[in-house]
A and B are shown apart, each in its own frame.
Chain A
Amino acid sequence: MRGRGDTMVRVAPEDTPSMAHRAGLPAKFVPATRNIVDGILRRRNVTDQDAPDTRSVMAYAADNTARTPVVLALLIAITASHAAKATDRTPTAVDVYPPQIQLTTSRDHQSIVVQAVFADGITRDVTDEAAVAVADVGIARFDNGVIHPVADGATTVAAEFAGLTATVPVEVAQSAVDRPVSFQLDVMPVFMKAGCNSGSCHGAARGKDGFRLSLFGFDPQGDYFRLTREVPDRRINLALPAECLLLGKATGSVPHTGGTRFDVDSPYFQTLLRWLQAGAPRDAGVIPAVDEVKIYPPGAVLDGPGASQRVIVRARYSDGTTRDVTALAFFMTNNDDAAPITQQGVVTAKNRGEAFVMARFETHTVGTHFIVLPSNLEFQWTEVPELNYIDTHIHAKLRKLRIRPSQVCTDEEFLRRATLDITGTLPTEEEYRAFMASDDAEKRKRLVDELLQRKEFVEMWVMKWAELLQIRTTPQMSYKSMLRYYNWLQERIAGNVPINQLVKELLASVGGTFANAATNYYQNETDTLKIAENVAQVFLGMRIQCAQCHNHPFDRWTMDDYYSFAAFFSQIGRKQGEDPREQIVFNAGSGEVKHPVDGRVMPPKFLGGDSPDTAGKDRRAVLAEWIGSTDNPYFARNLANIVWAHFFGRGIIDEVDDVRVTNPAVNPELLDALAEKFVEYQYDFKKLVRDICTSRTYQLSTVTNESNANDLSNFSHAILRRLRAEILLDAISQVTDAQNKFRGLPLGARAVQIADGNTSTYFLTTFGRAKRETVCSCEVSMEPNLSQALHLLNGDTVHSKIQQANQGNVVDQLLKQGKSTREVVEALYIRCLCRTPTDEEHAAVEKVLAEYDDPKLGLEDTFWALLNSREFLFNH
């Protein structure tokens, strides 16, 4: 059974690998015989009528659009046969959170959550069902899920459920003292929780309805001023605190565009009222900073829709105290479909899937991992071979999700996939035949090793880095400068310079833009803040742009972090070089970045790290050293993720340059392992590529089974990936043996070799080539669209390349070699699709070819149809 017939739809999970290979791809995708034949006929129509077959074009676009990965949609297919519900079972453990309780001052309190864990990993919130008791009720009391202080001292609180007991210690201090209300610690969080200082309300740059608060509270002093001093006697009224405009608006007792934010009975109202009653004091002395925020429980596996789990959030301050800030935290989830959360912190399971549930307090965002399974799930993990550590981590996660990975792909698929991914080229007919003929058990490994030695591998990564480094001509950068920059990159990558070394050379570069082309990094962008943003995004994967104007709403970065990071780039000097076209970049040794709110000179500080000693040093060199070192927790992970994403079409963190607390890795253990290996390999990413390409995970088939059919993010099967613009054009040029010509490059240059981001062709632009105007990974568009399909069908690229090749066109050449029609068809299939045609395909093609008077014309049309087939356009 070589089921590529149009009746072939889906391979059953029990199919042998060989059958799966022949089945190859889902029917929607496979350019089965019908596709090819249709293609030939379609081309005839096009030729005859000069009009495209709009229906087919639409189908093409629609098919592929539908299959585009949907962000964060994780649907786990699992067969359900678990007999008993979790509620009926006995848990293996019961946990109480938080693990310690510390109550300081009389108003302090701490809510607790009790979680039961069952043998199959399912968890259940049993806070209401468990028997909770405080050991010494003279120290603390338990009331409706909350522990309150009674007197100073230490005791424990125990929770008992289903015969299991968990105990946590409780410490009470200053129980007789009432902590005075603080503007920054108590009042500001209310504005955050109630949404007052959000961007759509008073946090807007010009405020709202005449009143402005700093966005997400980045400027407490300014907020205090605006509340108490800006319009005297209007916003607050110390004589009649409860009657003032501030409270009236918030509770809706006077008209408020933003509606009622909280009611009079709420703790938020009480906090504001207490502050006003105290005379709206400005905080005195040192205000404790929030050092750490934790969310509990650390994870949950919910059994079926409707199961719920409450979460609690606790903050630790720099003075050593803790506070239960569950009521003040802002809750979010990254998958509303699976695990929505209320602003009271209650997650209620909805559909199957996984979610990252997050709480934001002050500038901290923390998350906890939730999995929602269908009720009564039965899942049996069958052992799958693990070729290296990558498979170990992938399988571990899949087990958790009750997903079975697909079968391994065929040799043909692997040859095409690896050659395209590693070198950006298609295997030649000779390579195909040699690989298929080899019976070496290790031939896949050998292929990877061989491909990694090719210059095309270097060129592919030069192209990718060129996108990250925005290599393109600008008014500040001449074509020569740009080309020097590109060649510098190429030399580094060809020379296997460790990536951390490359980054050090780049960021700490000094010298002429010709002599040391790495300095073009600072010519391309001369704005200090932009340089800092680009460095953070490219090398650390972080988008810190938000923090230029306000604290980052979805990450931990504050304005202080932003400007302290930018201070690394404030001392770049530039002068005219000896060549009139050249600039010299050097360390000027002076220049500072000031905080825009209060004009403070910001000392250089690593993102999420220390303030290094930069006195007398080139600040950029200090930063480059840190970025390229293991002190920096982001760099190796980020680069490993970028490499991973190239081979799988999506990152472990996706997008690769959007690393933030609120966008967690789908498999952090895998990412950590890759990062560790990357460091172990001395940042030689070639070795990382070898690990990836020889893993079983990389070799998985695109054919799915019931359990992973809907998985798009956990790498349980290969995902179809449209060839990116440059590689597609090179592939077309390669199989048609027709050379490209690009501006500013010699004839025959490949599209991946285009040095200048501004050099493009209609084809490349249509297929989403990056212009390198920004560092964003989103510049490369992989989305299929109608104009791509139209261009392939009607445009001059495919047609003219089939017609015009170097020495006679390919079909001519093949016929001149004395090949029969059948052999030519086979050669064309191998060239384009890296496989031989099935018998059915042969038969169908022959039938169509018989209608041609000139077999050459028919074969050219076959060639055209192959190049227009989806199998050609996708890596699978």
Chain B
Amino acid sequence: MPARLGDVTKPHAARWFDFLVETCPMRSCKQQLAGVGGPVICWFLAAACVSAASPRLSHILPRGMRRGEDHVLAFHGSRIGDAQEIFFYEPGLETVEIKAESDAVVRATVRVADDCRLGEHIAQVRTASGISDFRTVWVGILPVVDEAEPNNQFDAPQLVSLNVTVRGVIDNEDVDYFAVDAKAGERLSVEVEGMRLGTTLFDPYVAILNDKRFELAASDDSPLVQQDAVAGVIAPDDGRYFVEVRESAYGGNGNCRYRLHVGTFPRPTGVYPAGGPAGAQMTVRFVGDPKGDIEQSVTLPGEPTLDFGLIANDPGGAAPSSNAFRVVAFDNVLETEPNNSAADAAATELPRALNGILHAAGDVDHFQFGAKKGQVFDIECYARRLGSPVDAVIHVLDASGNTLIGNDDSRGPDSYLRFTVPADGNYVVRVSDHLQRGGPDFVYRVEIEPAAAALTLGIPRVERYGQYRQTVSVPRGNRFATLVSASRANFGGDLVLEETALPDGIHITADPMPANLNVMPVLFEAAADAPLGGKLVDFTARHADASQNIRGGFLNQADLVLGPPNQSVYRRCEVDRLAMAVVEHIPFKLEIVEPKVPLVRDGSLELKIIVQRDEGFTAPISVQFPFRPPGVGTVPSVTIPEGQNEVVYPLNANGNAQIGPWKVYAIGSADVKGSAWASTQLASLTVAEPMVTVAMPRSACEQGQTVQILGTLNHVRSFQGQAKAQLLGLPAKVTAPDVEFDSQTEQIVFEVAMDPSSPAGTHRNILCRVTVIQDGEPIVSRAGTAELQIDKPLPAPQDQPAPVAQTPPAEEPDAKPLSRLEKLRLEARQRKARQGAKETGGGG
């Protein structure tokens, strides 16, 4: 486009933009580019016009869907143009069609089942070349309408019907008004999802106003939904009511999306009891709704389940989001008032979940249990985590009412403590609110069970706040390794991975994880003909001793919203399966050349890594060495330069490096239109004792002289042939030739030569490096350290005649080199002898 490029009236960047629109080969991309206005976006898209590795997902739009309908979701991110599949972590969501619009946007038609669980769902894009971050999307029950600006004036609101979900955006200092018509006595409930959508730091405020602009109900935060808001009133009159939505501090930006549910549905703020035994059929009572309590029969899942919730239903509809509900392995105990003193506490067996409501301000509840000396119980209170207003404080009292232990905030606002029973007897658990508050929805639940072993696996973060490389993408015919971390609670011991169904064509290799480590390398390999595909894998490990019956699975937390102060996490989500996929072939393969010699303590080793490049692939490859045995260190990464096929990865071991055989790997990435990653095999690396150590005394001499530094060898292991010792770190203008020795040598001597201008002073950082060649490879270690003092010569005394040159007394023909101390002693002896001779002469 020379004509365009020559157009001087356009800014430089804009001209480039035009150019790219014209030259981009992808039609859809061209359209996209023509539609956007900025050169920055233009560059971004230009790079994204072909499929690429390391896909990233930033957000999904719209932020919610309605149950029982098909919706087109737009997955926004980068390098996702080759999307093949959407991973949903729960049933009820099915991808009907998937279509890449550009490398940044993929549209997928998603069918939401009639019985799909309401609330947050997690989705992730699998592309032909990788797996993206996971993000959330919400499922609701009400028909969806879009916000229509302008609706910023109370006088000019957007009229919506009751029982809808409004999708809107709050821009800076934006206020959205919606008007609904309600009948007197009708329940008017609103719930807004903002922060929970996990897009950005958006703290919504919602209010229901009457036509005189007075707030009938307003909510900014709520224990039930944290920074989000719920509010409800019974309409006092027939008429028009107004719902105001804004950011709580009049902030906002284009990312501050919300879903506002407006309708006649129940919106209880609590459920009692807030948990039950797995598989139970029970009746619960929803509390805190403007219309009063709602009783509902429920059947609980057959297994203890985290993140379970109950949806309240009544003739007015269904609550837009669930009330959190614990499903555990043991039975409930419900409080029986009065239990305001330890004396009134009802006795119970353990393990149990104690359920109660702090009915009124100042209410304190007590429960009693019997226990034997030495038993250890975890006493954990669930209140705020279940959406209750209670800021729980728990205490354990002995039979005579003395407080033994207490806790306020060990689990955020909730409480937790471990109680070791001091003696056989009865004990009392006291539950209260930190601020002595109470109310009909002040529900709490204290679960008491013996401290139990628990195991959780994970993949350590690579990015401080992101999810990058916390999935497994194995290129066809290649390898991918990752660190797997394990968190052991209340037990110790080796761990082994359990067998599990992996995507077709993937093979896994891992050694047991030793008891003293909490990370291990795990290698995944894909056959060259493995089909492209992936799945969410139930990735589990168990105690190496199967009889211990301790096992645990994968858990990953993603920080969705961070904010002040200090990058605090406002919203996170969790997945319990590991996303794994076979991805397209990548044009390089890495391999560690296994060393024949060990890495010794205080030693170093140059690990050679070679790359097999596809024909024509010459890009530089950045290599990392993620797993380091204890005491082994190295640099963060090295690079195989463009066109070259090997690199040396320098490893070193400290004096306490853990001795033994280890499996290590390296992983490298190259820019294949996005970073494509492949690892080496799991290679053996042995950490061993050094062959020999050297003890060297302190030495001193004057500038311009030569001194011998003596090294006493300690042979830890014998070796064949000659070894070489070098002094490193000598001061300037000081030289010492290397010394060779064999496994029989006991002492070595470095002839250290000073120059008259060698720097005076004490030089401490002098190392003796010993290199032993074994099987043709060097074993290098830092065998000892030396200290060298360089003195300036004393000035010659001026008032005395120049010393008569004396022939020094002939040294004894002892070939033994003297240490500095020995020299000093010798000099002293000689001086004394001379003095004695003089005195003898004078007296004669």
Contacts and interface: CB of A to CB of B under 8 A. Distances in A.
Given A455-B214, A483-B249, A745 B173 contact: yes
A178 B246 CA distance: 81
Contacts of B758: none
B214 A511 contact: no
B153 A514 contact: no
Nearest to A576: B409
B203 interface: yes
A584 B435 CA distance: 9
Contacts of A379: none
B435 A484 contact: no
Contacts of A491: 215, 218
B391 A584 contact: yes
B248 A575 contact: no
A581 B564 contact: yes
B221 A579 contact: yes
Contacts of A584: 391, 434-435
Given A478-B249, A479-B249, A579 B215 contact: no
A586 interface: yes
A580 B412 CA distance: 11
B249 A744 contact: yes
A514 B227 CA distance: 10
A240 interface: no
B152 A578 contact: no
Given A455-B214, A484-B220, A746-B152, A579 B248 contact: no
B174 interface: yes
A575 B251 CA distance: 26
A228 interface: no
Contact of B250 (A455, A579, A746): A746
Contacts of B220: 480, 484, 514
A746 B174 contact: yes
Contacts of A478: 249
Contacts of B175: 746
Nearest to A745: B250
A744 B564 contact: no
A747 interface: yes
Contacts of A514: 220-221
Contact of A580 (B214, B384, B413, B565): B565
A747 B173 contact: yes
B226 interface: yes
A573 to B, nearest CB: 10
A510 interface: yes
Nearest to B569: A580
A455 B213 contact: yes
B173 A580 contact: no
Contacts of B251: 479, 744
B413 A586 contact: no
A581 B227 CA distance: 11
A452 to B, nearest CB: 14
Interface in B243-266: 246, 248-251
Contacts of A57: none
B215 A480 contact: no
A483 B248 contact: yes
B212 interface: yes
Interface string B407-421: 001001100000000
A487 B221 CA distance: 13
B137 to A, nearest CB: 25
Interface string A580-591: 110010100000
A478 B248 CA distance: 11
Contact of B435 (A483, A586, A748): A586
B409 A575 contact: yes
B563 interface: yes
A515 interface: yes
A745 B212 CA distance: 20
Given A455-B213, A578-B413, A511 B249 contact: no
A580 B566 CA distance: 9
Contacts of B409: 575
B249 A747 contact: no
B570 interface: yes
Interface string B214-228: 110010110000110
Contacts of A747: 152, 173
B570 A580 contact: yes
Contact of B434 (A480, A483, A586, A745): A586
A484 B212 contact: no
Interface string B365-400: 000000000000000000010000001000000000
The CB with the most chain B CB atoms within 10 A, among A487, A580, A745, is that of A580
A494 interface: yes
A480 B173 contact: no
A235 B214 CA distance: 72
Contact of A510 (B250, B435, B568): B435
B173 to A, nearest CB: 5
A301 B218 CA distance: 59
A510 B221 CA distance: 17
B214 A494 contact: yes
A745 B227 CA distance: 20
Interface string B168-203: 000001110000000000000000000000000001
Contacts of A577: 413
A355 to B, nearest CB: 49
B564 A455 contact: no
Contacts of B173: 744-747
A578 B153 contact: no
Contacts of A745: 173, 250
Contact of B412 (A479, A483, A578): A578
A746 B568 contact: no
A82 to B, nearest CB: 59
A746 B437 CA distance: 35
Contacts of B218: 487, 491
A745 B247 CA distance: 10
Interface in B553-583: 563-566, 568, 570
B212 A455 contact: yes
A746 B215 CA distance: 17
Nearest to A578: B413
Given A479-B249, A586-B434, A745-B173, A515 B221 contact: yes
A491 B152 CA distance: 22
Contact of B249 (A455, A480, A494, A515): A480
A580 B435 contact: no
Contact of B248 (A455, A480, A746): A480
A511 B220 CA distance: 15
Contacts of B563: 580
A578 to B, nearest CB: 5
Contacts of A483: 248-250
Given A483-B249, A746-B152, A579 B226 contact: yes
A745 B391 CA distance: 33
A586 B408 CA distance: 13
A455 B214 CA distance: 8
Nearest to B566: A580
A747 B156 CA distance: 14
Nearest to B222: A515
Nearest to A511: B435
User: What 9 A-B pairs come out closest when comparing CB atoms?
Assistant: A580-B568, A480-B249, A479-B249, A746-B175, A744-B250, A510-B435, A480-B248, A578-B413, A746-B173
23 contacts: A455-B212, A455-B214, A479-B249, A480-B249, A483-B249, A491-B215, A494-B214, A511-B437, A515-B221, A577-B413, A578-B226, A578-B384, A579-B221, A579-B227, A580-B563, A580-B564, A581-B565, A584-B435, A744-B249, A744-B250, A745-B250, A746-B173, A746-B174
Interface of B: 152-153, 173-175, 203, 212-215, 218, 220-221, 226-227, 246, 248-251, 384, 391, 409, 412-413, 434-435, 437, 563-566, 568, 570
Given A483-B250, A586-B434, A746-B250, 14 more contacts: A455-B212, A483-B248, A510-B435, A514-B221, A515-B221, A577-B413, A579-B221, A580-B564, A580-B570, A581-B564, A586-B435, A744-B250, A746-B173, A746-B246
